Amino acid sequence: AQSVAQPEDQVNVAEGNPLTVKCTYSVSGNPYLFWYVQYPNRGLQFLLKYITGDNLVKGSYGFEAEFNKSQTSFHLKKPSALVSDSALYFCAAYNQGGKLIFGQGTELSVKP
């Protein structure tokens, strides 16, 4: 079955430290991969996507993600975390039916 997995329910990081939010996928064919961020009581904001090209994708607010085909991963990273980055992060991919399937979400907490 096609799926997206985020193995960590929560990630805690100190402000100024690098952060990584993990995502692995299992989809057929060439994957279309996305990261979204959700703040409390808000919709999802698009951060970045991978369709083709460079494996390292840069997105909004200083975030980037690395596509690794051999490990079927698309981890989200940021060199220096901010308290304002604290939010719920979702990894997503298109499945064969053209629908966006989501990971379970990872709550990122950045402490001052």
Partner 1 sequence: GAVVSQHPSWVICKSGTSVKIECRSLDFQATTMFWYRQFPKQSLMLMATSNEGSKATYEQGVEKDKFLINHASLTLSTLTVTSAHPEDSSFYICSARGLENTIYFGEGSWLTVV
- Report phi then psi at 43, rounded to 5: -75, -170
Of 32 and 82, the one with the shorter C-beta distance to partner 1 is 32
**Contact call for residue 36 and partner 1 (CB under 8 A):** yes
Reading the block at residue 84, the tokens are 């304002």
d(CA 103, CA 24): 9
Question: SS3 for 92?
Answer: strand
Residue 5's Cβ-count burial label (10 Å; 0-12, 13-18, 19+) is middle
Options 21-29, 41-49, 61-69, 70-78: segment touching partner 1 (CB under 8 A): 41-49
Q: Which phi-psi region, left, alpha or beta, contains residue 69 (left: φ > 0; alpha: ψ -120 to 50)? A: alpha
Interface residue with partner 1, options 51, 61, 71, 109 (CB under 8 A): 51
> Binders of partner 1: how many residues, by CB under 8 A?
22
Of 66 and 102, the one with the shorter C-beta distance to partner 1 is 102
Cβ at position 44, least distance to partner 1 in Å = 4
Residue ranges in contact with partner 1 by CB under 8 A: 32, 34, 36, 41-46, 49, 51, 88, 90, 92, 94, 99-100, 102-105, 107
